[in-house]
Amino acid sequence: MELGNILTNILSVITILNILLLASVLFIERRDIGNTWAWIMLLVFIPIAGFFIYLFFGRSLKQKNFYNLSAAERKAEKTEVDKQLLPENLAILENNPLLKEHRELIHMNLKSSHALLSKDNHIKIFDDGHAKFAALFEDISLATKEINIQYYIIQSDSLGTKLRDLLIQKAKEGVKVRLLYDEVGSKKTPPKFYNDLRAAGGNVEVFFPSMFRLVNFRVNNRNHRKLCIIDGEIAYIGGFNVGDEYLGLNKNFGYWRDTHFRMTGGAVNHIQGKFILDWHQAGKKEPGDWGDYLFQTEKQSGTSPVQIVSSGPNSETEHLKNMYIKLLLSAKKTVYIQTPYFIPDNSFMDACKIALLSGVDVRIMIPCKPDHPFVYWATWSYVGDLLNYGAKILLYENGFLHAKTIVVDEEVAVVGTMNIDSRSFRLNFEVTAIVYDEKVAAQLTDLFRQDTELSSKLTKERYEERSLLIKFKQSISRLLSPIL
């Protein structure tokens, strides 16, 4: 067969596959309309390259029983959720004015994300990497039973090595150590970095690993969670990854401003449950321990009510985005948001506009410097739109802002791993803690106000002064925002 005929046949096959992919995107996979059109444009205008880009970035995950839970496990989880949804148990919320006020939100989180409510938690807030890791390493050093630790990024630098060596020490002491990291987030760290930990008896798994560290067909669906659970009694959850830059040691970013919770109480069980599900998905399932952690009785460590809400590409609905929208629409006075990226979809933008038009003081703090240029300019495009509705946009100038927080009416607060963008809404595995406690909300409000002193205000006049080049960058970035 002549070379020309061979090439023609190859192109014909690719064209047919391209048509099948278009049909899949249009009629089979359940995507939002903006995302659908973005993929259609890619597949139509660059069919060959678009085909391969889709293979790596576009395929949807199965949504039904992604974690392969047994029928008994699914029934046990449903039983616990249904128990909290009983009228007599929901009526107990009436005894707490704040829980009563947000009863609908609590109900939505239970129904949507199976986020059980625990009311006995104690929370310590960290906004500095040195303090957070000092506390984490101290808690790990005191562990006697087990350490479950999960990060999107673990660097093989000074901080990452210190963590690994501490885990090696605990494994040698007989403590059960399980470490889970994301393949793409931690791509700079070679697998051999963990050889000594495995040799000491520690267990290490990779979420959605690559083939030969070269090809990864799940590069677009990453585990963005940052969790550590120690002896089933202490849990960490928030925005910090593991690396020297999170201590402010990267000169390109400078000081690293982030937010993390250290928690004790019943919520630890629910954080542990999230880790166990991810662990079983990434590695060998260990029978019996998921339900054991998830459904323990409350520990009576404090008085803060908490729900641990998770979301991911395996979810039928965008739990975390919907929770944020519900919070925005319930706000009466103030909404304070900190996020490194602000690339919302139309539903989130509409919620912000409704809150602003209703007289709510909405303040959004973003970094003044980019770590991803396209994302940065898309962020500027969206916050610029909200300026016209009266939003106060703050540019954090004391380094890099990576905190993912929202505080509503100085009553309810959320800290976790979710950025305000389509990737966190739909593509990444994320987790947050929502706290119904005025004291915790007041502490986070104080931090926001302190950060405001280190920020400049983006006014409409300043925004309009941007150059034609910047306007062009914003337009292109916004066009690509559904798939950034």
Q: CB of 367 within 8 A of CB of 341?
A: no
Report the alpha-carbon distance of residue 373 to residue 377 in Å, rounded.
6
Report the alpha-carbon distance of residue 459 to residue 27 in Å, rounded.
43
Residue 6: CB atoms within 10 Å: 10
What is the pLDDT at residue 471?
Answer: 66
Token readout for 376 is: 């940065």
Half-sphere exposure of 131 (CA within 13 A, CB side): 12
Report the alpha-carbon distance of residue 198 to residue 207 in Å, rounded.
17
Report the alpha-carbon distance of residue 14 to residue 395 in Å, rounded.
46
Active site residues: 224, 226, 231, 402, 404, 409
Look up tokens 């087990």; give the residue: 146
Q: CB of 382 within 8 A of CB of 375?
A: no
Q: CB of 12 within 8 A of CB of 46?
A: no
Phi, psi of 412 (to 5 degrees): -120, 140
What is the pLDDT at residue 456?
Answer: 96
Q: What is the mean pLDDT of each run of 10 residues along the chain (484 residues)?
A: 62 65 56 62 64 60 69 80 85 87 95 94 98 98 97 97 98 97 93 97 90 63 95 96 96 94 96 93 68 55 93 90 97 97 93 98 91 72 91 96 97 97 90 98 98 95 75 64 57
* Assessment of whether the complete model's pTM goes beyond 0.85: yes
